[in-house]
Each structure stands twice: as C-alpha cells, then as structure tokens.
Structure 1
Amino acid sequence: MAGMPGSDLIKTFVSERVQKRWAKAARAAAGQDLAALRRQRSQARELRTHLNELIHVADERLALPAIGSTQFRRPQGSDWGWRPALWRGPLPVPGLSSAQNKSQLGEEVTLFHDCAFSELTLRQLRNTREADLAPYGLRMDVFKFDGSFLSLVIDLPPEAVQGLKRRHLLRMDTIVEMEKPLEIFARLNIKHGPNTEQIVRELPLHEEEIMVEFDLAYTKLNEKRVEKAWLDLIFEGPEMNQVVLRDLTFSRRPRAEL
C-alpha cells in the first residue's frame, strides 16, 4: 500500500467503502423499511448488471489464448520459429464468402483453386479450447466443388530463409479438425536464383501430433542464392466438408552433425 500512487490509494479506499456499504445493507435488509428496501433493490440490480457484464468479459478474455501469442513447442536446437499472423491476432477482414481464386485472408495466406463457380468460404475464428495455444484458427467450408485443385499458400517471412542451409530441417506443426476424412499435402517451395526446390509431404492426419519435416539435404539448394520460401497446403477431395486449422506453426533446426 505504501508504494501505491495516490490515485490508486483513493480507488482502493472508495472500493472498500462501497463493499462495506453493501455488506451493511445486506445484513440490515430483513428489518429495512419497504420504501428504502425498494430503492436499494433497484440500485443493487443496476450494479449487478454491470458486475455481471464485467465478469463475463473477464472470464472470456482470461480463459482464451492471449492475442498475439507466439508461444508453441519448438524442437530442441531450433534457430527460428514462427506462427503466421492469421493464427496470432484478429484480421481487418475476418472472412470471405464465394472466395475467388487468389483471394487473400491477411497478408500471408492466399487461396488457390480453379472452380468455375466458387462455393468456398474462409473465416478466421477465435479459439476457445483449453488445449489451444493459438489465439485464432481458420475455418474453410467447401460445398459443391467443380475444380481440380484447392490449396492454401502461406508465404514464409524473410527470417525463414536467412542463413538457410542444406543441413537444415524445416518443420510444420498443425492442429486439424474436419467433418469427414480427406487427404492434405504440404509442399515446401524454396526459390533460389532461377530455380525452385519443392518437397512434398502428406500430413499424418490419423496421428495425435500432426507434423511434417522437410529435410533440405535431399535438395539441390544453392545456399548462396536463396530468395524466399512458401508452403502450399493442398486439399484432396474437399467437396462438402469443413476443415478447421486450429493452429499452424513453423520452425527450423540444423541437423546434428554426424
């Protein structure tokens, strides 16, 4: 108390006085005259409305993953880790309906498809489960699908390729929910000079931990000419399905020397 600013002392004093006042009124309610009791009841109900609203908002905010959170499990020895902005904080435009080819949701996620008529929707949603580390997730609803391909492209930041070597392992972790089974493939693309290296992995959706690793040792990567990297999430047979990506994170680590 001694170290509190003056305004905080005053607020604490007023709060204690208010609590004592209502505690005293509650104890005296049984013997209070009806006119005074009616006034107190009206005041108490008005106060309860504000208190209930504060408690509701506080419970919701304090129970959810913190907005902007970059917390996630990274393999030991990782020299870089990242969660895209869509999964970290609210977007100015949280959703798209009848999403067209090359539609963007945020600055890092782009939808690609070749449907003649789009019945695709994308929407950012707030994660509420206790197990979620990401504040937000992405829901994709696919109704009739007359195209031959559907993918989400995630542009990796410049930091992902700074100092990138062929001895690196690049890892992607995700949490996926879907209405019915489908196949999802992850394709890593790394542009170096005029060439682009590609590595494709199928997501192990039947496993509890859904992650894939890309071993750059098996590429012909020119370490001196690396420019940028992006990842395609490719959905096979997506018609009449809802897919929720609760989280999406990336990390990289150098392979242990043999």
Structure 2
Amino acid sequence: MQVRSALVDWIVQRRGVRRWTKAARRAPDMPLRELRHERSNARKLLYSLNEMLAVAENRLALPMIGSHAFPKPHGTDWAWRPSLWCLPLPNPGMSSAMSKSKLGDELILFHDCAHSELTLRQIRNQREADLAPYGLRMDVFNFDGSFLSVVLDLPHGAVDGLKKNHLVRLNTIVEMEKPLEIFARLNIKHGPNTEQIVRELPLHEDDIVVEFDLAYSNLNEKRIERAWLDLIFENPQMSQVTLRDVTLSRRQRADF
C-alpha cells in the first residue's frame, strides 16, 4: 500500500511539474482572462512552496539530532559527547530542582540550598556555529547555599585502557548573563582512592578548552574503576548559564 501511495504521489508531482512548465511557456501568448486565472493559482501555490521551503531550510540548518561530530586532537583514542547534548530527553527540564536531581541518564545536580530556586532544562541549539544539537540552560535565582555543581558520569570507554601518559581534554561552549567562575574537576576512582584534577575554565574564550594531564597524578593504572566530571559554579546567584556543548576526548602524550 505504501509503495502504491508513493507511486501515485510521484505521478501527481510529475503531472504538476509538466502542467506548470507548459503554462510558463504559454504565458507570453495566453489570453489575459486565462493569464489572470493562472496567476492567481500560481500565487497560491507559490505561498505554500515558500512556506515549506522556509521551514525546511530552518530545520535542516540546525545541528542534526544525534550528532556526535566535533573536532578532535590528532591521536585521540576516545571521544564522547554526553547524550543530553545529542538527543531529546523525555523530561527536558525541572524547576525548584533538589540536590541529586538527575537530568537524563548522565547528569546529576548537586547543591546545599535550603530552598531551591534553580531550574535546569535542555534547549535546542539553533546557532550556525553550534555542532551539538542540544544545550543545557541553568537559571539560578536566590541562592542560599555554599556550592553548586553538575556532575557527568563518564562511560566505561573513558577509563578503558587509561594510562598516566594520557591527556584528557574538555571542550565546552558557555554563555553567561553575568561574569562568574566555573571550575572543572576530573575525578578518577582507582581502588580505595580518587584522583582529582581541577582546572578553571577560561571563560573569556569562545571555544573553551582545558586539559587534565595525568602524568602528574598518583593514578594507579591497574586499579582504575570509573571516572566522572564535576562542573562547579562559583557565586551563581541571579544568573543564567547555558552550556551549548560539552565534549571530552583523550590522547597519549607524545613526550612522556
């Protein structure tokens, strides 16, 4: 039935194209009464075509849903964009978000506010520069706590084969309503211990990059279990922060 319907649509479309091609050729010699009638029909068709083209061009200009594409350094042996920035969430947001609230399967919010006035929501990226289909927007109103962070659990691939001669790279795009400080902390659990490396994000740059050099850590390569990333927001009261993209990758040092 679907094949037949597609065939009928194709035949109708072909006939329509032939009909308007023929009308265009006849237009110079067409009687004025008929010409007015055809002009009216053409304008109605043109309105629908322009409307369809406008919607199609807008949608096709957006980053493709599910895209994991982003630039990676030479020698990268693992790269990842969390699903929150790739795919639509069944529940795209939350208000008055409590500590330990989850957004999607990978991101958890932590804070110590007595009364939460925080909202988190997934948004659709629409800028020409965006490679990630989605972004994360956080609105903070009154903030009576002492800390605020979001935590991303890294997949097993991040620690599979991880060595002390690896560099772990974080790329992100951040928009802010007002200046604030954001720190990234990479946590790697190895046996009973957890190695932590902290970097401040250079927020004055458009494409924000920080690297975690494991060569200077006390990492026990044979006992690595899991890893996660904290993004820590300092003095976030009355602010809006949008993370347009978050990607991580790793590569081995050439000079280790």
TM over 0.5: yes
Secondary structure at 1:242's aligned position in 2?
strand
The letter for the 2-side match of 1:227 is: E
* Match among 192, 213, 216 for residue 215 of structure 1: 213
| Cα distance, 1:22 vs structure 2 | 3.9
| Cα distance, 1:56 vs structure 2 | 3.2
| Cα distance, 1:179 vs structure 2 | 0.4
The letter for the 2-side match of 1:217 is: A
Measured in 2, the distance between the counterparts of 1:61 and 1:209 equals 24
- 1:234 counterpart = 2:254: no
Measured in 1, the distance between the counterparts of 2:129 and 2:140 equals 26
The letter for the 2-side match of 1:32 is: E
The letter for the 1-side match of 2:33 is: G
| Aligned residue in 2 for 1:203 | 201
Measured in 2, the distance between the counterparts of 1:33 and 1:158 equals 69
Measured in 2, the distance between the counterparts of 1:237 and 1:228 equals 29
Measured in 1, the distance between the counterparts of 2:167 and 2:189 equals 16
| Aligned residue in 1 for 2:64 | 66
- 1:109 counterpart = 2:111: no
| Aligned residue in 2 for 1:147 | 145
The letter for the 1-side match of 2:189 is: K
Secondary structure at 1:79's aligned position in 2?
strand
Contact persistence 2:173–2:206 (CA under 8 A): no
| Cα distance, 1:52 vs structure 2 | 4.5
The letter for the 2-side match of 1:244 is: T
Alpha carbons of 1:97 and 1:48: their partners in 2 closer, same or farther (altered >3 Å)?
farther
* Match among 169, 172, 183 for residue 170 of structure 2: 172
* Match among 108, 130, 133 for residue 132 of structure 1: 130
- For each residue in 1:132-155, what CA deviation from the matched residue of structure 2 results, as whole angstroms up to 9, or x when unmatched? 111111111111111100001011
Alignment of 1:1-258 (within 5 A): 11-22=9-20, 27=27, 28=30, 30-32=32-34, 37=37, 41=40, 45=44, 47=45, 50-258=48-256
Secondary structure at 1:129's aligned position in 2?
coil
Structure 2: gaps spanning 5 or more residues: none
Q: Normalising by structure 2, report the TM-score.
A: 0.89
Contact persistence 2:164–2:215 (CA under 8 A): yes
- For each residue in 1:40-70, what CA deviation from the matched residue of structure 2 results, as whole angstroms up to 9, or x when unmatched? 957963x556534532331122100111111
Measured in 1, the distance between the counterparts of 2:12 and 2:35 equals 27
Measured in 1, the distance between the counterparts of 2:35 and 2:128 equals 49
Measured in 2, the distance between the counterparts of 1:126 and 1:148 equals 30
- For each residue in 1:87-133, what CA deviation from the matched residue of structure 2 results, as whole angstroms up to 9, or x when unmatched? 01111111111111111110001110111111111111111111111
Contact persistence 2:78–2:250 (CA under 8 A): yes
Identity of paired residues, percent? 66
Q: Normalising by structure 1, report the TM-score.
A: 0.88
The letter for the 1-side match of 2:228 is: W
Measured in 2, the distance between the counterparts of 1:203 and 1:21 equals 61
- For each residue in 1:210-246, what CA deviation from the matched residue of structure 2 results, as whole angstroms up to 9, or x when unmatched? 1111011111111111110000000001011110000
Alpha carbons of 1:33 and 1:71: their partners in 2 closer, same or farther (altered >3 Å)?
closer
Secondary structure at 2:76's aligned position in 1?
coil
Contact persistence 2:75–2:252 (CA under 8 A): yes
